[in-house]
Amino acid sequence: MAAIPNFETLLLEIRKSLRLKNRHSTDKNEDFRAYGLLLTTHRAMMAAELDAIFEALEMDPAARRDVSFNILSWVNFNQALAQNIWTCQASPQQVVWHMSAYSYAPALGRLVANWNLGQAFDAGMPGGEFWFLPMLDESRTRVSLPVQHVLAWLMDLVGLPMDELKKDVGGARAKRADAQDSMERSLYHWKAGETLLDAKSIEKYFPDDASLRFDGTFEPAAGLTDAERFGAALAFVAQKGMDAEQLRAQIPMTQPGRLEAILAGTATDDEQQLFVDRLATRYARPAMHIVRQRLRVARMMQDGYERLVKFLCPGVEATCPDPYRNKVLQLLELFKAVFNLTIEAHKHGTNVQEENEWFEAQIPPLDAATLFLSILPSRFGTAYQELGGFLTRRFAELEPDAPLADLVPVTEKELPRIAASRLQQLASDRVKDRQVEQVLDRIRRSSAWRILQSVDDYWVVSQVAQTASLPPKARAVATKRMRELAPTPWHAIGAVLIDLHMAFDTEGRDRPKDLEQHVESLLAEAEASPAREAYASVLLQYRAKHHLARNDFEAAKKLFREALDAGADQQFGPSRGEIARDLLAIEVADSRLVPGNHEKPYRHMLANGMIEGAEASLENVAAGAAEYFWDTLYRPYPSYSSRRPIAAEQARKIIGETMGLIECADWEGLRVWLKRNAGNFCKKRLRDVRGDSVLMIWLKMLHTFEDKLPELAVQVPAELQGDVAKMKAHVVKRRQAIYLLIDNWPEQANLQDFKGQTALMLAADRGDLPMVKVLLEAGADLNIQDYLGRTALHSAVTGASPDCVSAILARGPDLTRVSTAEGNSALHTAVRMGYPATVKLLKIPELVERTNHAYLTPVQMMADILDDLSGWRDLMRRKKRKTGTDADYRECAAELGLR
């Protein structure tokens, strides 16, 4: 079972096609491709790879931002699509072919067209050609290649024969005759398509100081009248020997008769001047960086094309013009169709919605349901699911050695054949879908065994078996029938997987007493199958769950790890993300979070779409995974006792044994308890994912009680107000107990939870000045940083407590400590939050002059916020951050000297 290429793989392939210097070892590249690097390293490498590509293509900052945004959208779609695809027995070639036709080529056509709408990225190139793509040459017997197209464009503008051109290329570094002769030979080879130029040669031959004469350009002199400009344009066209038909391939004036009228002098003055402008654009003198950029794009596209032909069509030459042997030409035709339709849609709408509606209206129903499905604006929210199901069916039908199907008709002659084949697929899908519904309806009213014996289609029966709403017995009958109909071991093992899923999915009284033996039998059946390697990761996952249900946690961990690694080259829908989730869950179920040890499954959860929502940090995901373990994943077999979390017993002692002592204000009894339990808890944290200390648990309980009291006081009826009073009294005692704890166990002040937070940070963030003072007296470390790099001073700032800020400043904290991601100091943070009293306290030269990772001082940050204050406050509200008022922000600005 072949895996779908991820974005990291595509990035490395683009680097290879640009022939950029490889900065990393082969092993590191493979780790990057397989999410084997630490997340910070992976993201840095991703940014570096993108930057290297942008640099090589000499893209300006605006283009880089635009490309990055569009790439992110495309990557997110393809990640979601992959989670809905099972590649079954399909070969790597079949997977790449189908993904290219149904996702990559349409998406690129759409993206490149949209990039081209604002300002054409290829201004000055022939208007009627896709110069950056391979295309049929004039004889239509051979495919000409992108580098040839760019060199033909360049030599046309230069207007010199090769033996003269060689004297001008290379700049000051290439004035020797032998160097010029070498360059001439290289240029001939490249122009003939005999060799592919390398990245170094592009820089060497076309540096900024290359003195190309450009005798073939059209540059009307300044100050000419309209008539003189038009006359100069006609003279240039005559010199080039071009007629209207040839001009149509060069400039965007393609309507019938339009150029004929211009050349005949019968067009309007406005039309004539438009012609002059477009001719001047097409035949403008290019800067050397434009020449280099286009050669690099051409080199990248040509190399990628040649390697794709070699991969998909072994034995076929890249210059082969037959699109049904050289199938990559079908992908290029699809790209061009989407590109042109997108450009045309832009002319038929006054807004994006109208453009999208026109775009979709032009697509035939067959294409809308298949090749264009991934880019239909109206299906944006569902296309990844619909296309995922469609492609899974196509892969399920394929034998590994089946030839690649023709999907795109390049000629009118082949349209009926290819359309008929695709229509037949859709019709067959609809027939089978109806049959599934009919079988399900009959099973709900009659005997499943009798009905399924009359069904001879494996796919239909497999869909029945996977219908969760059917009773387990009916589904078991369906999996038995799947085994009877299975044409290969690969199909037979599919029935076993459904049985295993049902076995682990049963709950409560539905779980049979012999469930353990039943699962062992199913696993033995699957592991004895010749097709077991194709399902290695899924079988290892079920084997891990089997050991977990036997309370063998260590064996289960080992098998989950093996399952995650085995899934690298397989594509079972969301299974790899689920395996990663299960692995993280068991790793942190009875353990404190250790980022270095636990980040790997988290990375794979991110990469496989298993994490949703804004709070997607490792810390938050791990906490959720631990809950998932005890609530859902861990379900021992009926004959095994159920284990409880280690931290549950610890919590019983910490809370249960002390609650009565605190409620009775038995401070001597509490001291005895602290002395008796010092060995277990004084310098240690709990054995759970959050890794709280006793102090952190009590402090969080205190804050919870204090938060609920005002609400309870209002909501509780009069007859229960006595209970509210008791809770208020308990809060006072709880605070006294915490002070006693800190006095007896001062070491607790510097123990950090799973987010790196200390008790001082929690107290400062809450603006709890008495608690802050007690912790400072106990020796709390001011400079410890949490998982985001924030210190207690940052916490005091976000807590909007000038008094806490003053108390911490009085102890001399390290003011150079900044947040990890943004590099924000405490003063930056005060500016962000809009707290003028805090800004006033922190307005010291060391902090005023410090820049963050965006190279902004607090003053510059303040100015940026004031430029769009309402937008900034909306952003902070969406992030659920408390801020000052508009007046507070303006007062902050005044404190910093801004008016």
pLDDT per residue over 258-283, tens digit each?
Answer: 999 999 999 999 999 999 999 999 99
- What are the tens digits of pLDDT across the range 665-714? 999 999 999 999 999 999 999 999 999 999 999 999 999 999 888 888 78
- What are the tens digits of pLDDT across the range 843-857? 999 999 999 999 999
Residue 79: the pLDDT is: 92
User: Is 727 within the bounds of a domain?
Assistant: no
Residues 6+ apart with CB under 8 A from 858: 825, 827, 828, 830, 831, 839, 847, 848, 850, 896
Residue 638: the pLDDT is: 92
Residue 614: the pLDDT is: 56
Asked if 759 and 773 count as a contact pair (C-beta separation under 8 A), the reply is no
Q: Which of 633, 662, 679 delimits the end of a domain?
A: 633
Residue 160: the pLDDT is: 74
What is the residue type of 153?
W
pLDDT of 244 strictly over 70:
yes
Residue 392: the pLDDT is: 96
Alpha-carbon span 202 to 542, nearest angstrom: 54
pLDDT of 767 strictly over 80:
yes
Query: The domain containing residue 505 runs over which residues?
Result: 486-633
pTM reported for the whole predicted model:
0.87
Residue 604: the pLDDT is: 96
User: Is 713 within the bounds of a domain?
Assistant: no
User: Is 869 within the bounds of a domain?
Assistant: no
Residue 599: the pLDDT is: 96
pLDDT of 112 strictly over 60:
yes
Asked if 17 and 307 count as a contact pair (C-beta separation under 8 A), the reply is yes
Helix then strand then coil, in percent of the chain rounded to 5, is 65, 0, 35
Alpha-carbon span 288 to 210, nearest angstrom: 8
Average pLDDT over residues 151-178: 69
Asked if 75 and 607 count as a contact pair (C-beta separation under 8 A), the reply is no
Work out the percent of the chain whose per-residue pLDDT is above 90: 79
Average pLDDT over residues 528-552: 96
Binned at pLDDT 50, 70 and 90, residue 116 comes out as: confident
Residue 44: the pLDDT is: 92
Asked if 771 and 795 count as a contact pair (C-beta separation under 8 A), the reply is no
Work out the percent of the chain whose per-residue pLDDT is above 70: 97
Residue 300: the pLDDT is: 94
Residues 6+ apart with CB under 8 A from 785: 756, 791, 817, 820
Alpha-carbon span 652 to 672, nearest angstrom: 17
User: Is 41 within the bounds of a domain?
Assistant: no
- What are the tens digits of pLDDT across the range 591-602? 999 999 999 999
Q: Which of 585, 608, 633 delimits the end of a domain?
A: 633
Residue 745: the pLDDT is: 98
Binned at pLDDT 50, 70 and 90, residue 168 comes out as: low
Average pLDDT over residues 504-514: 85
User: Is 890 within the bounds of a domain?
Assistant: no
- What are the tens digits of pLDDT across the range 642-672? 999 988 888 889 999 999 999 999 999 999 9
Binned at pLDDT 50, 70 and 90, residue 165 comes out as: low
Task: Evaluate the CA torsion angle 556, 560, 566, 571 in order and state its sign.
Answer: positive
For residue 504, what is the domain's CATH number?
1.25.40
Paired tokens of 880: 């659920």
Helix (H, G, I), strand (E, B) or coil at 564: helix
**Counted domains in the chain:** 2
Residue 197: the pLDDT is: 81
pLDDT of 143 strictly over 90:
yes
CA angle 146, 149, 153 (to 5 degrees): 145
User: What is the number of helices (H) and of strands (E) in the chain?
Assistant: 46, 2
Please, where are the H alpha helices in 362-453? 365-368, 383-397, 415-443, 448-452
In this predicted structure, which of 135-139, 144-148, 290-294, 575-579 has the lowest mean pLDDT?
A: 135-139
Q: Which of 268, 289, 310 delimits the end of a domain?
A: 289
Residue 59: the pLDDT is: 86
Residues 6+ apart with CB under 8 A from 834: 873, 883, 884, 885, 888, 889, 892
Residue 179: the pLDDT is: 54
The CA-atom distances, in angstroms, between 173 and each of 130, 294, 296, 329, 559 are: 33, 22, 21, 40, 61
Residue 277: the pLDDT is: 95
User: Is 141 within the bounds of a domain?
Assistant: yes
- What are the tens digits of pLDDT across the range 169-225? 655 545 555 455 566 677 777 777 777 888 788 888 888 888 788 889 999 999 999
Residue 49: the pLDDT is: 92
Binned at pLDDT 50, 70 and 90, residue 241 comes out as: very high
Residue 144 is given by DSSP the state: E
**Average pLDDT over all residues of the chain:** 92
Q: How many residues does the chain have?
A: 899
Residues 6+ apart with CB under 8 A from 488: 531
User: Is 509 within the bounds of a domain?
Assistant: yes
Alpha-carbon span 551 to 673, nearest angstrom: 33
User: Is 145 within the bounds of a domain?
Assistant: yes
Residue 615: the pLDDT is: 62
